[in-house]
Structure formats: structure tokens, C-alpha cells
Amino acid sequence: MLRIENLTKTYGDVCAIDRLTLDIAPGEICALVGNEGAGKTTLIQLVCGITKFDAGDVFIEGLSMREEPFACKSRITYVPGSPIMYEFMSGIKYLNFIADIHGITVDTRQERIRKYSGIFGPTEDLSLPISSFSRGIRQKLALVSAFIYEPKLMALDEPFFDLDPYAASVLRTWMREICAFGGAFLFSASRREDVEGFYDKAAIIDNGRIVHWL
């Protein structure tokens, strides 16, 4: 599903990612654990093609990010730790906007929005403008917008940080459900409790390198 091969990224004299190699098979959840500045976010952005790497390559379903970036990007979904959204939109308009981008039919999107937006609690929240949402609700909305087109490979940067315990439990359920159908996840966490008992493999990252496997 995903292979990261000798990936390297430098910023001036600082090596943010240092010849890092990692494999994720279909059905696997891989956690990146490390302190702030360890390289977790940089690695995820490199994998998603948001930031260009200096050496190495990323392969998604056998396709090279270096040679076929558009095809690779179409196969992976990225949810940042601090999602940037169109704040003038309501929650439901934003979800329909994302569904339009991915060509999801009206019937399918309505079913999936009902299914995944249960994380919000009262559905009335979706009618409110995004500008009125707390950080936690925005994080939930970003996750719902990613799940409604049910991608096979997802990269989540600190997905549990702003979530309440119930929402975090629901997210874990969703992730396992997608993995049961051959999907895969790469996610980062600064707090070890966010990954305890919830991964197939977990790498501790420090100074852009994998220093230990949990």
C-alpha cells in the first residue's frame, strides 16, 4: 500500500528527515510517535506530496511520487493537525463541497454524511458556520470530510489531539472498519497514550529517524 524508501528532506543545514524507510501493508495502522520537532509532520507532508523531498521516494500502490505525483496524491487523503477550512461555509455545505470535488453522488453522500457525522452529536451543528466551531469540532468536521469518500490510504497528523474521549473512540472504530476492507493508515501522535493498544506497528521518531519500533 505505502512504501517510504530512503526519504530525505533538509532545510538548510537541518536534516528534518534522514534516509527514512517504512512500509505499510493493506489493513495496517502505523503510528509515528515523537516529541514536537521530531519530524512527524514533515514526514506525513512528504508522503502526501505537500512538501518536496530531496532524496529517496514514496510509493503508493506501486506508483512513484517522484514520477507520478498526481496519481499518488489521488490515492491518499491528508488530514492536518490544524485544518484550514472555508469559515464562511456551514458544516453541511463544506461536506457537500468536498463530496462535489470527489464526484460522490447525492444519494451516496447523504448516506455517508449521516453515517459519519454522528460524531458531532446533534445534527443541528452541521447547519452552523464553521467560524463558530471550536477546534475540536473543526477536527471532527475535517475527519468526516475525509471519510465520506472512504479512501484506501489516509495520513492523519495528530488526529486525536483535539478530540474528546468518545470521538477518539469513534475514530478508532472507523479506522479499523476501513482497514478491514483493505485500507491503511499512517498517523502521528506526540502523546504515547494516543497510540497505546491501537496500532499494528509504531515507530518512535527522533531527529527525522526511526530510533525504535514499539
Question: Same domain for 129 and 106?
Answer: yes
Question: Same domain for 91 and 132?
Answer: yes
Q: Is the pTM of this model over 0.85?
A: yes
- In percent, the amount of the chain with pLDDT more than 90 equals 57
The C-alpha atoms of residue 48 and residue 7 are separated, in whole angstroms, by 13
Question: Same domain for 68 and 8?
Answer: yes
Backbone angles phi, psi at 166, to 5 degrees: -65, -45
Span 68-92, average pLDDT: 90
Output the pLDDT for position 99: 92
Question: Same domain for 13 and 53?
Answer: yes
Q: Which domain holds residue 192?
A: 1-75+152-214
Least confident among 13-17, 51-55, 102-106, 165-169: 165-169
The 10s digit of each residue's pLDDT in 111-160 is 988 888 877 665 568 889 999 998 888 888 999 988 888 778 999 999 88
CATH for 16 = 3.40.50.300
Question: Same domain for 19 and 112?
Answer: no
How far from 138 is each of 85, 92, 112, 120, 175, CA to CA, in Å?
Answer: 8, 12, 18, 10, 19
Q: How many domains does the chain contain in total?
A: 2
How many Cβ atoms are within 10 Å of 134's Cβ, its own excluded?
9
Long-range Cβ pairs for the range 164-170 (8 Å, 24+)? 164/136, 167/119, 167/136, 167/140, 168/194, 170/118, 170/119
Percent of the chain as helix, strand, coil, to the nearest 5? 35, 30, 35
Count of residues for the chain? 214
Grid cell for residue 204: 518512535
Question: Same domain for 68 and 157?
Answer: yes
- In percent, the amount of the chain with pLDDT more than 70 equals 97
